[in-house]
Structure 1
Amino acid sequence: MVRRMFAVLAAAALAFAIVPRAEAAQGEVYVALGDSAASGPLVPDQVLPDLGCWRSDHNYAHLTAQAIGAATFRDVTCSGADTTDMYQPQRTDLGTLPPQLDALSQDTTLVTVQIGANDVGLTGFIEDCLNLLPPPVGDACNDDYVVNGQDSWRVATDALRPRLTALAGDIHARAPQARIFVVGYATYAPPNGCWPRVPIIRSDANYIRATLQYFNRMLAEQAASAGVGFIDLQTPSTGHDPCTGSGTRWIEPYIPASPAAPFHPNARGMRNFATVVTAAVSGV
């Protein structure tokens, strides 16, 4: 998955709240955890020393840290990360990184975590549904995920529930003073899609939309179960999906028109997500 992400990013580069009410205190010690949806691959500027993580200094966590005046900020978000990488070193094409939970400390006061998409193969899932030809020549992908009458993507999503609950508990154990917020994923497809602008046919676009809505509901439910906050990015990003114009969209399509990885937030998206996240962590 990491090599695949590296290849996709390189190609793109060449192509060019359920939220607990709490007031953000001055002097926050803020730690950002997560995957490429949080790290901001190809969004200027990519930061050292962990270039293999494709992490932007203008991702929503950096912008939120500035907005709340965090006294200490540690961003360990990394492209390709899944829940395993919270606990174990993550290998990237440009080096190996420590477990993300190692960034937590007893004095951490704020944590955002956006994770889980790679556990269920979100990137590969969307890529599998790309279809340059419409039916009947092009085949729909959604039926590939139905096995023995069960939607395998939803089965994988439900299987992730206990891991996310355990992760919230482990974050709290390492950072007992911290307010913890699970961050959801954005809107990747409007109803019926927009083939051929984004080469995903209508039935597959609706399938992607429905399964991502289910995934975000799962994240919200597990956050509530664990007693932590949930920040909804799906709702505010409606109308800013990859099918919208380059001056409107927050998520880039398969062939990006601005510096960002395919089907990942661009700089505009990160700015708007930072507004949402800042409001949530500030209790606004």
Structure 2
Amino acid sequence: MTRTTRALAAGLLALALGAAGCSQGDEGVRAGVAEQSAPTPDADVPTATDAGRYARYVALGDSYTAAPLVPETDVTNGCLRSTDNYPALVAAALPGTELVDVSCSGADSGSMVGVQRTGDQPQPPQFDALTEETDLVTVGIGGNDFNLFATLIGTCVRLRSSDPQGAPCEAQFTSGGTDQLARELRQIRGHVAAIVTGIRDRAPHARVVVVGYPQILPDQGSCRSLLPLAAGDYAYARRINEGLAAAVERGAGKADAYVDTFGPSAGHDICADDPWINGQATDPNRALAFHPFAAEQKAVARLVLDAL
């Protein structure tokens, strides 16, 4: 996390508790709009019957909410929001619901109250979308805090060449007897808790649903062509992945609901025969590297609707 982003996150904590990097996608991907008519409900996603109960739905979050390159993707502002991400699918299953999707690839906790830059474009604070008329809020955030995801899929991958059969990433981040990434997970828990408080302050009548992160790493084994970590770092990266899901869940304690996606995604990690998460090669017709496929977004939509 940069000094600027760290300051924004600190400001978020102070504001909320006191009150109670993404590149452009491939050319040719059709542009959409943030506020739009919801798509036709997918056959795999149940349709809710409480039409009109959630008249205004605001979706907050990072790229695991925006779902970059899950067809089709809005490339107009750098946030890379899919028109078939889980917020769009949830809204489609709730007749009479207007979706305001401000999720943005690269967002971290500081992006809730601070300006996020996508390339040369400034994105307003996501909390700006919240009003007293908001009836439903979903938020999925935390994975980009302290550059956590970038460390797992960037730094750890680069370190593989130094000790392919060992655990060079774990060795680097646990040197001195303290696990740096585990320490940051504890702080992410606090960020999520502050975000829930901030949402309630700005949208006091809304139902607040926190959405967790899926399982990215396999329980056992490896798939170096898709996720090129050192052999011993798979277990470490999975612990951090699981720890992130747990941190978000604990931070969501005062939300109306927490949607666990880690458990339901078991067996659908990057290395699985039926993966919900893409590997290291971006597929411009399916998903950005290391990001959700459409199947994962449909599954999350079902889980959110179940929570409602």
Question: How far, CA to CA, are the matches of 2:145 and 2:302 in structure 1?
Answer: 27
Listed as ranges, the gaps of 5+ residues in structure 1 are 14-22
Question: How far, CA to CA, are the matches of 2:23 and 2:166 in structure 1?
Answer: 27
Q: Which is further off, 188-197 or 102-111?
A: 188-197
Which residue type is aligned with residue 250 of structure 1? W
Which residue type is aligned with residue 216 of structure 1? A
Tell me which stretches of 4 or more aligned residues in structure 1 moved more than 4 Å. Answer: 131-139
Q: 1:207 to 1:139 in 2, by over 3 A?
A: closer
Listed as ranges, the gaps of 5+ residues in structure 2 are 3-20, 30-47
> For residue 43 of structure 1, what is the aligned residue in structure 2?
70
**CA positional deviation for 1:242:** 0.8
Local SS of the residue matching 1:6: coil
Q: 1:81 to 1:206 in 2, by over 3 A?
A: same
Question: How far, CA to CA, are the matches of 1:136 and 1:201 in structure 2?
Answer: 5
Question: How far, CA to CA, are the matches of 1:244 and 1:276 in structure 2?
Answer: 21
**CA positional deviation for 1:139:** 5.8
Equivalenced residue count is 265
Superposition map of 1:156-171 within 5 A: 156-171=184-199
**CA positional deviation for 1:195:** 3.3
What do residues 206-240 of structure 1 show as CA deviations (whole Å, max 9, x unaligned)? Answer: 1111112112112111211x243210011111111
- State TM-score, norm by structure 1: 0.85
Residue 107 in structure 1 maps to residue 133 in structure 2: yes
- Kindly indicate whether structure 1 or structure 2 has the higher relative contact order, using CA contacts under 8 Å at least 6 residues apart: 1
Which residue type is aligned with residue 26 of structure 1? A
Q: Which is further off, 37-46 or 201-210?
A: 201-210
Pick one of 235, 241, 244 that aligns with 1:212.
241
**CA positional deviation for 1:122:** 2.6
Q: Contact 1:194 / 1:201 at 8 angstroms: preserved in 2?
A: no
**CA positional deviation for 1:259:** 2.1
Question: How far, CA to CA, are the matches of 2:164 and 2:299 in structure 1?
Answer: 39
Which residue type is aligned with residue 6 of structure 1? S
Local SS of the residue matching 1:163: helix
Local SS of the residue matching 2:292: coil
> For residue 234 of structure 1, what is the aligned residue in structure 2?
262
Local SS of the residue matching 1:270: helix
Matched residues, percent identical? 34
Superposition map of 1:69-88 within 5 A: 69-88=95-114
Residue 146 in structure 1 maps to residue 174 in structure 2: yes
What do residues 78-125 of structure 1 show as CA deviations (whole Å, max 9, x unaligned)? Answer: 011011110012111151111100111111111110001111323222
Superposition map of 1:247-262 within 5 A: 248-256=274-282, 259-262=286-289
Local SS of the residue matching 2:302: helix
Q: Contact 2:164 / 2:230 at 8 angstroms: preserved in 1?
A: no
Question: How far, CA to CA, are the matches of 2:129 and 2:49 in structure 1?
Answer: 20
Q: 1:103 to 1:144 in 2, by over 3 A?
A: same
Local SS of the residue matching 1:113: strand
Local SS of the residue matching 1:169: helix
> For residue 244 of structure 1, what is the aligned residue in structure 2?
272
Which residue type is aligned with residue 211 of structure 2? V
Pick one of 169, 179, 202 that aligns with 2:231.
202
Q: 1:124 to 1:227 in 2, by over 3 A?
A: closer
